[in-house]
Structure 1
């Protein structure tokens, strides 16, 4: 029983190692850069059916929230320097 288990494990390991060695990859431009588009994928994505057409307002939401966060932090720091107490809620700052 133990001998069969070891033989089966050896066969599985040999098959896995052979498949890893036998894989020759794709046409790589550099080692590790082997992405190739599927047949029919356009050279330029903009304007094709693969173009995601993101909404500019949706893309700018993160930048806008960071600007607002920095403004709140600036108010907190100014209040801390003035009063010596840290107030988290900006609405409580006079």
Structure 2
């Protein structure tokens, strides 16, 4: 049970009135697309057309981007070996190096 739920009603109301209970959920900006969607870039942030080649361009290395996909493929191969071994033997072996090919 939270501390707020154990407080008497008058104390809880006073806490909310003073703003002690919870912070605001979203920035209430002046240029909101819709309520709660008020993200604005910092002053000086270029338009989308200017991003390529600027200091804001992320410049992702294709090798680094492919690492997660490669690790997921390797994980799926290990899991397939484990599942096939379990189907053959009826025992689960976590260590793939101990599974006979």
Alpha-carbon distance in 2 for matches of 1:91, 1:24: 56
Of the three residues 84, 90, 99, the one matched with 1:93 is: 99
- Residue 42 (str. 1) matches residue 49 (str. 2): no
- Residue 28 (str. 1) matches residue 20 (str. 2): no
Which protein has the larger Cα radius of gyration, Structure 1 or Structure 2? 1
What value does the CA root-mean-square deviation take over the aligned residues? 2.8
In structure 2, runs of 5+ residues without a counterpart are 1-17
Of the three residues 41, 66, 74, the one matched with 1:68 is: 74
The change in CA–CA distance for 1:32 and 1:73 in structure 2 (over 3 A counts) is same
Residue aligning to 1:83: 89
> Shift of the alpha carbon at 1:52?
1.8
In structure 1, runs of 5+ residues without a counterpart are 1-12
TM-score, normalised to structure 2's length? 0.64
Alpha-carbon distance in 2 for matches of 1:25, 1:42: 20
Alpha-carbon distance in 1 for matches of 2:77, 2:28: 54
> Shift of the alpha carbon at 1:80?
0.7
**Is the contact made by 2:82 and 2:93 (CA closer than 8 Å) also made in structure 1?**
yes
